[in-house]
Structure 1
């Protein structure tokens, strides 16, 4: 209606000026008549331009057709009846074509400019175009200095300012824990600061010149091993923190200490690269003595080998002081430690190879946590595939289809993220209370496996009270973010530890150190995969009464109703 009104208004002016032109032609000389015709051409050009601008502002998809009709209508409204006025029509037609060409060029230029800008934004926000990313879990015995080291890393990398450090120093002094102020950067809740022990997995981010890192500060106390498992299951690299202080290393290393269990769990959970940092080298009982460093290394190497690590290829040792920051960002001064000529912590972390990842595989993200924030938000580490805004995914095992509204990585909103990234994803189509820890965000085309029974190959570590492992044995299963009670329903085969081949004899029970193929049943449906296809969703531990008794990998997923088959 706006267009028609505008045209009608324009026709009134056309009629008026047409009359004026007719009177002028009768009364004036030839020169005046040509001047009037020039004025008419100028008026026609003005009308055409006004029509084009109006239609451009309205963003009419059929703009070219409408412009043609409006111009022809305007020309007809002038009602020129002189033969010489054909020249005027030709002139107007030329003006019309030039104006249309100009409009097309402007529109084309705008479209191309928008495309270029969108491509640049998309390119800049593509995870593959960023720095490489590694998840680093800090593990080790309680009081080895994991949180202090993590806090020092954040301070040295500029993530925490000096004023905040002064605040933590005062707070720690008020609690009579002067040496713990750096740990307060990672241990953020009051319970952890009062107890002086990490309870939950601390999470923080920092960058070096080549790499973005996510720090996972795992608790060291034996009461919080399940939380440590949750942290290690997200990691690409492990930093085993060992205290060089007299007595502290021995306590963590002896049977029952968390140094041993953490190493074993890290290897089981897929942490293939391990950096062993001998901390507290500045302690008065140590004084940067090479003999103490060598003693610790000589004891750890055989144990690391027995845990499955290739020490020459996948393990590296270095001395350090987490409290004062020595040999973390820059190499230790020769005047302090004359015998060490190796790299500092940052240098080693920057050279660690990124594990193989599949950005084009089926999407898999175990859900670690969820919360409400103008919608449902889930947190986790992407183990396979990639995700972008607008994607449709499945929340398993509920089989609820959801849509991705936004993706956040390292506190920044991004268009998408790939494997290895720790992300927060806002979803529509599901409520926060309908999601549990251990659920998996999965691709629609190839969803994650959902079972209550599966076959597995288990390595028995140390059964409590020299018990036997047989059908009916119950334990707690830890697999990615799943924690579920389980029962061994059938022993299928025993594996010869030397030949790695199945033994012919029928197996009824096994003891410590045995390798056995068995069938496991859980109370509820869980999301898992074969280890051969998705390692991070196919490796697990069995724990009972606060102790890890077995580690294993999933070899087969079973449909319901196959128990005893």
Structure 2
């Protein structure tokens, strides 16, 4: 009867992780059995059989090295304190290995107190030690993102203005989506009688979004130019999903306001109740300082690259954008484009198509923008935007200030829970650190998914952010039919946090001309007025005064599906 023996260790460890047997050992095996051919690159298997006190076969070099490492029972079973402080090995032992380790030779060495040593054993021990110290070299091999500046751009505007179509075409023109994939999308869109929607499917990956042609969640993608790395945030345009748009605007550096030049569509989006006004206001409140206005659908039969229509849209938009805080000379740039054909996105417009526009195409303009000033010297502030579970707790957020380092102990506010950043991913690539301005995914240890929410903030343990329930703020009432008195409730959006808030006290009105606060407390405030009020949230939130940290000190108030007010935090009370 023939038995075939298979080593349980061969399924766990690679031969590369162990020392090669010496040539002398190979020759000795051949002399003992000439018919046996030994592969010197294979790991030796030494069966551990004992029949009636028969001599145990000589242990292999690998077995000897383990005997040297574990000469006594105390070494074989280290204390709990020692196991906590011991460094983690790259290749962990399997249960099969643990069972095979205490051989008779190790018991014999334990009795005599003199472990077996040899030249092969010492060489193997050295190799094992080198393998154990590899985590440091592995961590240092993770690439650190350097060189190109990262900018987050968000596409905003009324529903069906062409935001997702422009974003999808940008991905194709910059090589992020290949032609074969685009042809597949085009074929599927034709089958559903949605021929012009195929470009938007590069960003609208949700089945519901593709069926209805409406973006629901903020789509994310990225592309590179010669000097910059851009992250695209595709905001939903429908009024039902404005809270999702606010979440995306909090992460943006530059706003791309998409306007449809098609007759009737521009008027619908710009009138009261349209999302053009609301999106522009929310972007400004979220901290977007520069706005690129793309007059889209210039190739439409009702427009045909008409300068008259282009100027009409520009003339109506500029006074409104100036009113909400954008400087027309330095903060706004207009350009005509066609998201469906890709005209003026990457390449300049063809001669004769649009002779009245002499500016650069869209991508070239983005690449020529001046670098933004980042707060990399301050303490880490990373508001959590999204969370999910994938082999651990994964959070998504933008580093508003400071630097996030991998394996760094952090504090999760406002719950004051200590966590560790096990992994930091930027564009799904693991990095050693993330600097201010980057939107990253972080794998956390020390907290469960149900114990954190969007709006929580990652901070250094020694420099946590402020938390409060009561604060004083300057509030601008944008649109509200009736008056607002003490006791009025609304929904507060501050950075990534969404919380119910109530007006506790009205402390005064602010004169728009002089900027001075009235000494007399008003009984109510109404539309187009500016007041100072004390607000109280339902729970404790992470918040900062606007003068010390603007990203966590400006907010939006919404009620009944509309944006009614914007404001900034003046002082934390409790």
**3-state SS, counterpart of residue 530 of structure 1:** coil
Once the two structures are TM-superposed, the CA of residue 119 in structure 1 deviates from its matched residue by 11
Cα distance in structure 2, aligned partners of 1:435 and 1:414: 24
Other-structure match for 1:494? 509
Aligned equivalents of 2:391, 2:474: Cα separation in 1? 44
Q: Say if 1:334 and 1:340, in contact at 8 Å, map to a contact too.
A: no
Contact 1:393/1:403, CA 8 A, preserved across alignment: yes
Deviation digits for residues 26-84 of structure 1 (CA, Å, limit 9, x no counterpart):
xxxxxxxxxxxxxxxxxxxxxxxxxxxx9xx99xxxxxxxxxxxxxxxxxxxxxxxxxx
Answering whether residue 488 of structure 2 is matched by residue 473 of structure 1, we say yes
Structure 2 residue 247 is the aligned partner of structure 1 residue 244: no
Q: Report 1:193-232 matches (<5 A).
A: 193-232=210-249
Offset at 1:452?
A: 1.3
In 1: Cα distance, 2:549 partner to 2:368 partner: 26
| Residue aligning to 2:559 | 544
Which residue in the other structure is 1:71 paired with? none
Q: Residue deviations 1:495-528, cap 9 Å, x none?
A: 1111011112222211111111111111111111
Question: For residues 278 and 439 of structure 1, do their structure 2 counterparts lie closer, same or farther at Cα, with a shift above 3 Å needed?
Answer: same
What RMSD, in angstroms, separates the aligned Cα atoms of the two structures?
2.2
CA drift at 1:372: 2.0
| Structure-2 residue corresponding to 1:530 | 545
Matched, 1:269 2:306: no
How far residue 360 of structure 1 moved from its aligned partner, in angstroms, is 2.1
- Whether 1:482 aligns to 2:500 is no
Equivalent positions of 1:413-492 (< 5 A) are 413-463=430-480, 466-492=481-507
Alignment-derived partner of residue 403 in structure 2: 386
Q: Is the 8 A contact 2:139 2:432 kept in 1?
A: no
Q: CA deviation at 1:359?
A: 1.2
1:174 to 166, 176, 191: 191
User: In structure 1, how many angstroms separate the alpha carbons of the residues matched to 2:316 and 2:527?
Assistant: 23
1:120, distance to aligned residue in structure 2 (A): 8.6
1:301 corresponding residue in structure 2: 318
State the SS of the aligned residue for 2:363: helix
- Secondary structure (helix, strand or coil) at the match of 1:509 reads coil
Aligned equivalents of 1:354, 1:258: Cα separation in 2? 29
1:133 corresponding residue in structure 2:
150
Q: In the alignment, what sits opposite 1:314? A: 331
SS at match of 2:272: coil
Instruction: Map residues 183-198 of structure 1 onto 2, 5 A cutoff.
Output: 183-198=200-215
Cross-structure match for 2:384 = 367
TM-score, normalisation: structure 1: 0.76
The equivalent of 1:505 in structure 2 is: 520
C-alpha distance in 1 between matches for 2:137 and 2:367:
33
Cα distance in 1, alignment partners of residues 507 and 379 from structure 2? 31
Report the Cα offset of residue 201 of structure 1: 0.6
Distance 1:206 1:491, change over 3 A: same
Q: How far does residue 143 in structure 1 lie from its aligned partner after superposition?
A: 0.3
Alpha-carbon distance in structure 2 between the residues aligned to 1:444 and 1:494: 39
Secondary structure of the corresponding residue to residue 155 of structure 1: helix
Q: Residue 493 of structure 2 contacts residue 499 of structure 2 at CA under 8 Å; is this kept in 1?
A: yes
* Unaligned runs of at least 5 residues, structure 1: 1-53, 59-109, 560-565
1:166-216 Cα shifts (integer Å, max 9, x gaps): 111111111111111101111111111111111111111111111101100
Q: Which runs of 4+ in 1 moved over 4 A?
A: 116-122
Gaps of 5+ in 2: 1-64, 70-129
Structure-2-length-normalised TM-score: 0.75
* SS across alignment from 2:171: helix
For residue 254 of structure 1, the aligned residue among 260, 271, 276 is: 271
The answer to whether the 8 A contact 1:472-1:488 is kept is: yes
What is the CA-CA distance between 1:354 and the residue it aligns to? 3.3
Distance in 2, matches of 1:210 and 1:119, equals 28
Counterpart in 1 of 2:105?
none
TM-aligned CA deviation for residue 390 of structure 1: 1.8
Looking at structure 2, the residues matched to 392 and 368 of structure 1 have their Cα atoms a distance apart, in angstroms, of 20
Secondary structure of 1:165's counterpart equals helix
Contact between 1:201 and 1:216, CA under 8 Å: does it hold in 2? Answer: yes
Matched, 1:348 2:377: no
- Greater helix proportion: 1
**What is the deviation of 1:494?**
1.1
SS of 2:330 mapped into structure 1: helix
Determine the structure 2 residue equivalent to 1:41: none
**1:165: Cα distance to partner?**
0.5
What number of residue pairs does the alignment pair up?
A: 448
Q: Which moved more, 1:347-356 or 1:304-313?
A: 347-356
The residue that corresponds to 2:29 in the other structure is none
Please point out which of 306, 312, 323 is paired with 1:289. 306
Rounded to whole Å, the distance in 2 between the matches of 1:356 and 1:557 is: 27
Q: Is the 8 A contact 1:243 1:278 kept in 2?
A: yes
Q: CA deviation at 1:389?
A: 1.3
For the pair shown, the structure with the greater C-alpha radius of gyration is: 1
**CA-to-partner distance for each residue in 1:248-292, whole Å, 9 max, x for gaps?**
111101111110111111111111100000000011111111111
Whole-Å Cα distance in 2 between the matches of residues 542 and 238 of structure 1? Answer: 21
Distance in 1 separating the partners of 2:371 and 2:449: 33
Deviation, structure 1 residue 444? 1.1
Q: 1:130 Cα deviation (Å)? A: 2.6
8 Å contact kept, 2:492–2:499: yes
